[in-house]
Structure 1
Amino acid sequence: MGLDDWRSIYLTLRTRFRTGDFATGLRLVNAIGEAAEAANHHPDVDLRYGHVDVTLTSHDVHAKTQRDVDLARRISGIAAGLGVAADPGVVQELELAIDTWDIAEIRPFWAAVLALADSPRLDDELVDPSGNLPTIWFQHTDRHEEPRQRFHLDIRVPPEVAGPRIAAALAAGGVLADESQAPAFTVLADSQGNKACVCTHLGRPD
């Protein structure tokens, strides 16, 4: 298929181009932009010093399509013309799974506390329309006592967002577990005991 530069990750085609410096990366991004405009199909492009990450998906159908394949090939040709090699083996995507015996009970809390939206594909998923946060999905489990979480979620937001975000999470069935360290962080939990912290930079060294 001529897609050696790319890897299939869930609903996307992804790769990383090792540009080596910022100026080369910028030239690659500009060329990708021209190709995307010509194709009327637009990837997500992340320019960093030393590399450019590219993600292709067809947002209108929430899947990979021939449009993505065609543009991937075009982008690979552009990169080759600039002497830029692909490093597709490094691409990855993080998703978070929450065990639950009742998805409907806790789903509104997680949508509210992380400002996520319903997945257009699956009833057991929440997604970030901006693409900044990982997808959260819910896995069915038997009812059990409050879990001893080995990890929890920290969501860092601007200070002016923290209050409304906390209020939305509480209104969505959440519980205020600990606000002793607010506004640095406020500990919330869904009704089954799974915790998340709403964090700001206030009162923190970073």
Structure 2
Amino acid sequence: MISSADKHLLPDTDVDAAVQEGLGDWRPLFGVLAARFDTGDFATGARLVAEVAGLADAMDHHPDVDLRYGFVEVRTWSHDVGGITRRDLRLAKAVSQVAAELEVSATPARLQSVEWALDTWDLTEVKPFWAAVLGLQEADDDAVDPGGRWPSVWFQPTEQHSGVHLGGPRQRWHADVRVPPEAVEERMAAVIAAGGRLVSDDHAPAYWVLEDAQGNRACLTTWLGRGPGPAA
């Protein structure tokens, strides 16, 4: 039976403390706790997946597992409350233990997750459309895939406008790319080398605003610097 404490979303600060104090294989990415294990071959990955499946059944808490040649990604979140709870911390610790027994190393810096952000002055007008066309489920200020497979859409508040800004089309969509903090420097260097530029780091380490040579923007984000609210 799940206790009431296990059903509560953990604040970002609690998740960060758990990662720092004993869950070094794991990183929070848009409301999930994720780890990547470099298995080296498919058979070792399959053995790890089998071990994770056994743990999940024993703990009655089931993560999303992606088996690929050379690596396995595990992402855990509490579907009933839509975020990270103590159940996820316990499962993450157990998964790391079996990975260590298989002599499989974690590479958390290679993790990432993507959500799409749409500027809107009235999300009630547009959220049902995007949820329907993308096959997502409406949530508070976003549309999500309950299965955790597809990127979510976040509806970012903005002032009403005509779609034209400063003599040209105004961007309405941008990608938010969530990476571990230790991956930011390398990713930023790749963006600059690819012809992009840094528009703003005023809100770092929560996010950096980047744009391509034609002015299209994206945000490189981490979970740090986002205040004491629930994990998101």
Do they fold alike, i.e. is TM over 0.5? Answer: yes
Query: Quick check: 1:125 aligned with 2:125?
Result: no
* Residue in structure 2 matching 1:138, options 138, 152, 155: 155
RMSD: 1.8
**What TM-score comes out, normalization by structure 2 length?**
0.61
Question: How far did residue 151 of structure 1 move?
Answer: 8.3
* Residue in structure 2 matching 1:20, options 40, 45, 55: 40
DSSP-derived class of the 1:15 partner: strand
Letter in 2 for 1:13: L
Q: In structure 2, what is the Cα distance between the partners aligned to 1:130 and 1:149?
A: 33
DSSP-derived class of the 2:113 partner: coil
DSSP-derived class of the 1:14 partner: strand
* Residue in structure 2 matching 1:97, options 101, 105, 117: 117
Structure 2: any 5+ residue segments left out of the alignment?
1-20, 175-232
Q: In structure 2, what is the Cα distance between the partners aligned to 1:95 and 1:89?
A: 18
Partner of 2:99: 79
Higher relative contact order (CA 8 A, sep 6+): 2
Count matched residues. 150
Written as runs of structure 1 = structure 2, the 5 A alignment for 1:1-206 is 1-119=21-139, 123-147=140-164, 148=169
Q: In structure 2, what is the Cα distance between the partners aligned to 1:60 and 1:152?
A: 29
Structure 1: any 5+ residue segments left out of the alignment?
154-206
Question: How far did residue 152 of structure 1 move?
Answer: 6.7
Q: Deviations over 1:101-150 (max 9, x none)?
A: 2211111211121111112xxx2110112322211011121221135366
Letter in 2 for 1:142: E
Give the number of the structure whose alpha-carbon radius of gyration is greater: 1
**What TM-score comes out, normalization by structure 1 length?**
0.68
Q: In structure 1, what is the Cα distance between the partners aligned to 2:132 and 2:126?
A: 10
Question: How far did residue 45 of structure 1 move?
Answer: 0.3
Greater CA deviation, 92-101 or 23-32? 92-101
Letter in 1 for 2:70: G
Percent of matched pairs sharing the same residue: 51
DSSP-derived class of the 2:52 partner: helix
Q: Deviations over 1:156-203 (max 9, x none)?
A: xxxxxxxxxxxxxxxxxxxxxxxxxxxxxxxxxxxxxxxxxxxxxxxx
Q: In structure 1, what is the Cα distance between the partners aligned to 2:131 and 2:163?
A: 20
Q: In structure 2, what is the Cα distance between the partners aligned to 1:66 and 1:100?
A: 34
